[in-house]
Amino acid sequence: MLQFVRDGELFRAVAVASPDGHRVTSTVGRLLDSNESLKTSECNRTQEWKELAHVVDRLFFAIVFSLMTVSVLIIVLVPFYKDELNAVDDNDDEI
């Protein structure tokens, strides 16, 4: 016979003496196997989410890095070309 005993927040199976010991052992074995398969499934699901998080993290890093590089180039190059842009505007005014 199999009884379930509450142990904190978990239930654990306790085998009670039974004339058919094989049946109890096989039942406990099936419960443990199903519990292991659930843990494996949860581990696989967790691993998949971690992989997705890494991919999204790399994507956001690439986007932010690109935007920051463009910003730095604009900040550095605008003063250099500012004089040339003003010279073009002055030539347009003379015509």
Domain containing residue 24: 2-67
- Give domain status of residue 77, yes or no: no
Q: Please state the domain count of the chain.
A: 1
Q: Kindly provide the b/e burial profile for residues 52-91, where b requires at least 16 CB atoms within 10 angstroms of the residue's own CB.
A: eeeeeeeeeeeeeeeeeeeeeeeeeeeeeeeeeeeeeeee
Length of the chain: 95
* 54-95 confidence digits (pLDDT tens): 999 999 999 999 999 999 999 998 887 787 777 766 666 655
Q: Per the domain annotation, does 88 fall within a domain?
A: no
Q: Which residue has the higher pLDDT, 61 or 28?
A: 61
Could you tell me if residue 73 is inside a domain? no
Q: Which of 4-8, 11-15, 41-45, 91-95 has the highest mean pLDDT?
A: 41-45
Does 80 reside within a domain?
Answer: no
pLDDT number for residue 3: 55
In a domain, 79, yes or no: no
18 within domain boundaries: yes
For the cut 60, the answer to whether the pLDDT of residue 44 exceeds it is yes
